[in-house]
Structure 1
């Protein structure tokens, strides 16, 4: 895969879902991509706290402390034009990241340039705030579905489980970390086609 990898930007923040940051990051590195992890207010060498969301039979997911996830690029100086694709994990981080205008501008850049854009779980909250889902199909954690439809998007139900991904144009979305195989497989197809 040497020389064929893409430059991918990953937006994270404190209490990003642990599996949704760690696992895709490692999968994308394994596939030969260069992944820059950024967070507003953080610099290379800093970390964000992660949270592990699990499905244990309650009415919603449970939350447990996760790991520290390393930031390897400087958010303040990142230029989205230098990247081929964007990936947005879920968890609680999107809830506050969507309040940052620079984050929204980064998302708008990828959407406007039709570059591959992947979001999972609560990550589509950032897509909603960036105003890019009107008339678009999007999967997400089911609790985020009302936001998708309120933004003019079409919520794509995961069906019987949380292990499917949905692709529409340059956008690949999924409901939660059980969808990693499908989500990253579809994201990789988009990366290969650009």
Structure 2
């Protein structure tokens, strides 16, 4: 049985939704960031980076990073494209979200990761905010004229959804992003998404 280590509202929500969509029995274990569980000795044995998500595979091997977990789960549960070009598009999106969009949020909310001098933290946060806003607009453009990121629902869509509540938290006028908002609304109609949002206590 698969076990997912997650934190509510974190980027692990994407894998959480995909697991729920898959229909197999799985376990989920919350990592309490408020108590610094992600830096505990026990959790660092699972993921030395001290981040979520982490996935324990059927054989007990741990797997970290959305860039690995989402392709694995997508192929296991039929939420991964068979067409090589579509596969390349999903991999490109996952890379974009993991290595560009997410770090911009980290700069915005956790500037201390990037500079020890508190005097420069506001500047780092502001640059992260500006960059994140631009990425939200890029996401909206990618979704224009589409029901899903690909021609059918895939792991790309739960990963995109992660950044909608992050945009709300940042204070961005998300309703102005019509295509991204339409994707969010379609996602909210899916039982698996409803279940995970309720479990993680996420309001969108």
TM-score normalised per structure 1: 0.29
Task: Work out which structure has the larger RCO, using CA pairs closer than 8 Å and 6 or more positions apart in sequence.
Answer: 2
Report the structure, 1 or 2, having the larger helix content: 2
